[in-house]
Structure 1
Amino acid sequence: MSPYTLLVLLVALERLAELAVARRNARWSRRHGATEYGGGHYPAMVLLHTGLLAGCLAETALADRPFLPALGIPMLALALAAQALRWWCIATLGPRWNTRVIVVTGLPLVDRGPYRLLRHPNYLAVVVEGLALPLVHTAWLTALGFTLLNLPLLAVRLRCENAALATAPGAATAPAAAPAAR
């Protein structure tokens, strides 16, 4: 098994860990009166993110993409930074974090951690990872394809999440505050 294959498999395991955290957090949120918004786009998001990982492996194998250290090492650093940012988001939101758009009624928006800097820092992690992970091993078609497909999906997701978050206490006065979802 190549180091790149191992990296992609580790990211896949990380995704499974995210899903386990999300399921646990969804149960907590529902017990606390949460409402889920925009579930219709969720299957497309899961499919696209799964396709990213499959594309990384398929393109490097089928197109015989080389590892170019001058590109691969900086992209690895960015991919790892994206993972760190994602888990910083998860830790900051605690039980309010989810891969779905789930908002607990009555809870104010989060304004600490990465959310004091960006409204949707986890989406920055997704965009960076979608470019960087494939480019660790020059899978440029996967990076391009994921990015082009992710842009309209991300636009739908952001509209959905922003509408959901507008229901939170203080939402009108906290433009930099953060969501309780991914």
Structure 2
Amino acid sequence: MIYLSLWCVVIMQRMVELLIAKRNEIWMKQNGAKIVKEGHYRWIVLTHTAFLSAIILEANWRHQMTGSVNGFFLTAFVLLQWVRVWCLVSLGRFWNTKIIVIPGVELIKRGPYKYVRHPNYVIVGLEFFVISLLFHAYIAAIVFPILHAALMSIRIPLEERALKALGKE
């Protein structure tokens, strides 16, 4: 039951984040935002959806849905969620799942963005690994961080070009 509860927490969190992203997108558009066309975005969505399916299927296949939860991975998960929220709060209305820039707005360099250029992407990669291990989904722990890294090798350069075009690198 605890695994199903954790899985639901992750899904609910992602749904709330999508609502926040949509709200922020509307606000940014009202303030002159430019949305970068990104053909890879659907692959990001597909990867996250597949991940949520894969961890529950693999855990069920391994008969791990009734075992005890590993305290180390649960603690790591909670810490990652704290940093994820820190990223979101630091960007405020500028946080989004899409690449959206507003001309004339200064690049945000507070919170984790003061230390790491793309902290949210690092967190997501770590989440794929930690959540998979929390669910004893060892195949997912290998596959999804690799997929994430591949997608970020496309996304980060696009994002950097969008920022550079605004003179906000």
* Residue in structure 1 matched with residue 11 of structure 2 by the alignment: 12
- Cα offset for 1:65? 3.4
Could you tell me how far 1:39 is from its partner in structure 2? 2.3
Shift of 1:60: 0.6
Cα distance in 2, alignment partners of residues 86 and 164 from structure 1:
23
CA RMSD of aligned residues (A): 1.5
Tell me the distance in 2 between the aligned counterparts of 1:162 and 1:148.
21
Does residue 64 of structure 2 align to residue 34 of structure 1? no
CA-to-partner distance for each residue in 1:94-121, whole Å, 9 max, x for gaps?
1111000101111010011111111111
User: Offset at 1:86?
Assistant: 1.2
Query: Could you report, residue by residue, the CA deviation over 1:30-51 in whole angstroms, capped at 9, with x for unpaired residues?
Result: 1111111142111110110111
Kindly report structure 1 stretches of 4+ aligned residues shifted beyond 6 Å.
none
Deviation at 1:169, TM superposition (A): 4.2
The 5 A counterparts of 1:1-182 are 2-65=1-64, 67=67, 72-171=70-169
Identity of aligned residues (%): 33
Partners of 2:56 and 2:135 within 8 A in 1? no
Q: Look up the equivalent residue of 1:18 and give its one-letter code.
A: E
Q: Distance in 1 between matches of 2:76 and 2:125?
A: 11
Unaligned runs of 5+ in 2: none
1:4 deviation in Å?
1.1
After TM superposition, give the deviation of residue 63 of structure 1 in Å: 2.5
Structure 2 residue identity aligned to 1:44: W
Counterpart of 1:29, as a letter, is M
Inter-partner Cα distance in structure 2 for 1:5 and 1:133: 13
SS of 2:96's equivalent in the other structure is coil
Q: Are the structure 2 counterparts of residues 170 and 98 from structure 1 closer, same or farther at C-alpha, using a change threshold of 3 Å?
A: closer
What SS does the corresponding residue of 2:120 show, helix, strand or coil?
A: helix
2:18–2:97 contact (8 Å) kept in structure 1: yes
**Counterparts of 2:145 and 2:94, CA distance in 1:** 27
Conservation of the 8 A alpha-carbon contact between 1:52 and 1:146: yes
